[in-house]
Amino acid sequence: MKVIRVHITGWVASFRNPLFISGFQPTLPLPPLSAIYGLLSAAKGDWVTPHDATIGFVFKSNGKAVDLETLYEFAGKLDAKSNVNKREFLVQPELYLYTPDMWLKEAFERPCYPLLLGRSSDLATVESIKEIQLENVSETTYQDTLLPFPDAQLYGQVQALPTHFTAEIPRRPCGTRAYCLITEKIEYRGDVLHDPEMDWGVYLHERIPGEFTVPNEQKRKPVDKNYQVPDVDGKQMQLPSISP
């Protein structure tokens, strides 16, 4: 399969764990799909959702650290009080983004908006964009990536995460489902895709069929409140004995 591989780096990254609302804010070890689609939207300069692009990724970092973050809590129109929380962040993040949608190549060559790996201060840079061929193999190794849960061959942290957010403010999460955060090497057997140059498996989260209209933010028109993301299990991982 022909895809583009975009290598993106930064100094720090932080991906909020949705289980923690206040107090200490740990980071997820890997970005959720919503962070990846946010990255695509910034590069394209327009809303990009799972309806528009197929994506896969491998994300690495060189450790964690904790920083102090000042928060301003607004009690009224002009009244605010400050508070200090501890926030965890990832050091020297590297993202290898894969997509067969070639129209995104131009977006990453000339991003419309700053690219971020989490918060607005976590700036990122495109190091390289390369067209490659992913191989269809019967066995590969998954590591540092996000895969749909459940799967009998997978193990690791399981987290309910959204695929993307709505365009209107306040933003609402869409397509929340269970994912397995693969941080250790897992040998996987099946109909899988493999990057021979990097020697790791690549799972592509396929596009969601159907029409999706981005609301006009100025008029604050909400998206379809009954919108639900259908089953997004890819054809690369079929286990008849496992039911979603």
Instruction: For 56-71, write each residue's pLDDT tens digit.
Output: 999 999 999 998 888 7
Q: Where are the beta strands (DSSP E) in 134-215?
A: 135-142, 145-148, 157-161, 164-165, 173-174, 177-182, 186-195, 200-202
pLDDT digits (tens, 9 = 90+) for 57-116: 999 999 999 988 887 777 666 677 777 888 899 999 999 999 999 999 999 999 999 999
In a domain, 173, yes or no: no
In-domain check, residue 76: no
Instruction: Kindly state whether residue 110 falls inside one of the protein's structural domains.
Output: yes
Q: Is residue 127 part of a domain?
A: yes
Percentage of the residues of the chain whose pLDDT score is greater than 70: 83
The answer to whether position 11 is within a domain reads yes
pLDDT (tens digit per residue) in 207-234: 876 655 444 333 333 344 444 444 433 3
Domain CATH for 41: 3.30.70.2660
Percent of the chain surpassing pLDDT 90:
59
Give me the chain's average pLDDT, please.
84
- Residue 177 placed within a domain: no
The span from the CA of 139 to the CA of 187, in Å, is 7
Evaluate whether residue 215 is within a structural domain.
no
Q: How many domains does the chain have?
A: 1
Is residue 17 a part of any domain in this protein? Answer: yes
Q: Is 77 left (phi over 0), alpha (psi -120 to 50) or beta?
A: alpha
pLDDT of residue 76: 66
Residue 158 near residue 106, CB atoms below 8 Å: no
Q: What is the pLDDT of residue 208?
A: 77
Which domain range does residue 27 map to?
2-68+81-134+193-202
In this predicted structure, the answer to whether residue 241 has a pLDDT above a threshold of 60 is: no
